[in-house]
Amino acid sequence: TITPVVTAPGRATLTAAVSAAAARGVYRLTITGQSGELVRSRTVTLRVLAPGDPRFGVVVQPGHQLANQRQGVTAFVGVDSFGATGVITLGVSADPPLPAAFLFSTEVPLPGTTTLQVSTDCDTAPGDYNLTVTGTAEDGATASAGAVLTVQPFGSTATQHPSTDTPIAIPDCDA
């Protein structure tokens, strides 16, 4: 419901009631106002949480990156509040383990951001590495977000070669 009916210029309050049977998730609400033939709309989001759900969220962007052996990548880590306040303590893990994965800041006030730095070396096996950033609130609630790092052999490129007869130099990671 929106109350009161607004006479321009003016403001109103939107109240959204959610039943206990409502599914968790993010819902888009479109609010439309009309004055004569003039119509304006705005879309807002409503996040429905269940009892016990954390009142904050963690996001890692981009969700997938490529790196060659001996390269590093950075990613954005955001922490959003869904009613929580305070500081979120962040940690990062990689499966399988990587030589280095660290956050520039492990304590982020709500809402806030930090940067994730991941490094590989010659001993990092090519393949997919699952990164998980976990945030812990002062009340012990946790939320996580994941990303994937695909490691390619040292010297890999996406260059197309004209034929199979073209000599290709194979780089040595240990050189």
Q: What is the pLDDT of residue 165?
A: 64
Q: What is the pLDDT of residue 45?
A: 84
- Each residue's pLDDT tens digit, 64-78: 999 999 999 999 999
Q: What is the pLDDT of residue 102?
A: 94
Q: What is the pLDDT of residue 46?
A: 85
Distances (CA, A) of 160 to 59, 67, 118, 163, 167: 35, 18, 28, 9, 13
> Of all residues in the chain, what percent carry a pLDDT higher than 90?
54
- Each residue's pLDDT tens digit, 106-145: 999 999 999 999 999 999 999 999 999 999 999 999 999 9
State mean pLDDT over 10-37: 84
